């Protein structure tokens, strides 16, 4: 599986699931139009764009282009790449009917189409050896810091999310992904006094 250095931004969880089966890396969903009223998620996307760059991969319908365009403007053109999927007529398997425009979205794309869209956008594909040589923050580090597996872990995670100005609903795995973008392992360990 190829690893994408940039953060991939998709519309929803089914899109995220499809992309995660094709490439590894950090994938964040906008929850459709919900991202526009979520100031913390927008600020997180700005930070991630500055640190790592982002690739916006939305559906090819009117809503997808609206989300893409609005995000591009709200993120101040900071290190943003655009990946486009082709117009393919059809419907996703989980849906009883085709979309209003009758096109497949990101979740309905074949793996080779997603890879090609990311390549055309200029996404950075990192070699597995580069990934293996990078010392990453692990779940064990989060456990040692008291962020998981303990009586006060939830409270500590909430305090960390607040301190880092991250969305409250960020999952433990999502937090781990973000921590690995924002900090080196040594920085994280120092921050947690370990």
SS3 at position 8: strand
Residue numbers of the chain with a pLDDT score lower than 50: none
> What domains can be seen in the chain, in order of their start residue?
2-129 (3.40.1360.10), 135-191 (no CATH)
- CA gap 80, 45 in Å, rounded: 10
Instruction: Output the pLDDT for position 163.
Output: 87
Instruction: Output the pLDDT for position 174.
Output: 86
| Helix%, strand%, coil% for the chain, nearest 5 | 50, 10, 40
pLDDT cut 90: percent of the chain above it: 66
- CA gap 50, 37 in Å, rounded: 21
Instruction: Output the pLDDT for position 129.
Output: 55
């Amino acid at each position: 599986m190829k690893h994408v250095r940039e953060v991939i931004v998709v519309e929803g969880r089914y899109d995220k699931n499809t992309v995660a089966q094709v490439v590894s890396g950090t994938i964040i969903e906008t929850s459709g139009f919900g991202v526009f009223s979520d100031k913390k998620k927008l600020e997180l996307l700005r930070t991630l764009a500055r640190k790592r760059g982002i690739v916006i991969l939305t559906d090819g319908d009117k809503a997808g282009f609206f989300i893409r365009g609005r995000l591009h403007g709200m993120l101040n053109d900071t290190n943003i790449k655009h990946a486009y999927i082709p117009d393919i007529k059809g419907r996703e398997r989980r849906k009883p009917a085709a979309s209003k425009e009758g096109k497949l979205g990101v979740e309905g794309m074949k793996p080779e189409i997603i890879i090609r869209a990311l390549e055309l956008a200029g996404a950075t594909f990192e070699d597995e050896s580069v990934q293996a040589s990078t010392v990453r923050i692990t779940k064990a580090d989060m456990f040692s810091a008291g962020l998981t597996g303990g009586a006060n872990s939830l409270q500590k995670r909430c305090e960390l999310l607040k301190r880092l100005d991250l969305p409250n609903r960020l999952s433990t795995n999502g937090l781990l992904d973000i921590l690995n973008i924002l900090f080196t392992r040594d920085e994280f360990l120092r921050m947690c006094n370990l």
